[in-house]
Structure 1
Amino acid sequence: MTDDTTPEAPTTEPTGRALALRVAVGDIERHVAARGWDGPVAVFALVRTTDALAATPALGEELPADALAAAERDPEHLTSIEQEGLPAAETIEELLGQLGWPEEVDGAAVVLERMVVPPEAEQGLPEDQEEAVEQLMAHPERQDVRMAAGVLRSGESWCAIRSRRHDSDDAVAGSADAVPGLVEALHATLR
């Protein structure tokens, strides 16, 4: 029995497109995780599988059977294509600032690793950059994380974060805005 005076919390179900992006980002994160830690930045184009197969039927011979079956069940299913030969860049912002995608690309994803320390660890750091990095690397509360973020032209985003300390597929956290700066920079590559 429900109390008519108590408003029910609105339930916001993710769209099929948002769910497809979650699956794609999760698959990408696990793919990169299988390579181990301390890897380079990885960038992926995201394309709707059914559209890619219509444009390039031979692609059906290259995709795994489970991806083809998923695309048959879900027209929003996404295929990720890792990009090789990325331009040289000192920072992730510089790298993403150099990227642009043709209209056939429905979205983009990036995977990178970062060191995270509590805010107080950054107080009183030495002026010398190398000494400051050494001090942060030695901090007892330092955590290494792998962040995967994906966005679609239609506005959806999803982020997955894995900690080296809890390096397990079932310990990967996710949300649409876990890494807002990275999401924003990725969206800019699609404009």
Structure 2
Amino acid sequence: MNEEVNKYLNGLKKWKTELTKLREIILECGLKEEFKWMHPCYTENEKNIVLIHEFKDYCAILFHKGVLLKDPENILVQQTENVQSARQIRFTDLPEIEELKPTIKEYIEEAIGIEKSGKKIEKKKTSDFNTPKELEQKFEENPDFKKAFKNLTAGRQRGYLLHFDKPKQSKTKTSRIEKNMERIMDGYGLNDCVCGLSNRMPNCDGSHKQLEKTE
């Protein structure tokens, strides 16, 4: 077992029992245990298959190529609209994990088979996402803002495009754009930490609320 994973699990205040069980199930499938992106990650021939992670309201096993799984039980979850390939199975208690153990193993075995087959995921390019006319207008009004947006990583750009284009009303789209202009100018993504307190860097975990309470 990976020592870094041991430290990670021992340091958890919540979901320790559930993630330890998921770890046990995954290792029974013969995968190699590593520690990547600050979470336990399990690989086959150096290829990422699954990882386990925890959130406030649930813990989960994440399949890196989950979109290719058949999902006969209809239990896979797309974490956000911007996630194209990965899918989660979410849990809220230990009995739920124990009940789904055979299914979890079946999904893991299928995921291993998909990786061995060399099957690839055709991901949408940033240019395939719709750019709202309200954003185009802001680009025209502020070339520096357009440059800052284009300098973001492709994933961050896609996240903003989905977020800005989701509302039906134009004024709501404009409001969302204006609310995030400063973040974009500073080079941050929609879900990036800007306070520096997050334990999930670069993602925000809500730690900024501690600052708001003291202001």
Structure having greater relative contact order (Cα 8 Å, sep ≥ 6): 1
More strand by share: 1
TM-score, normalized by the shorter chain, greater than 0.5 = no
Please classify the TM superposition score into its range, dividing by the shorter chain length.
Answer: under 0.3
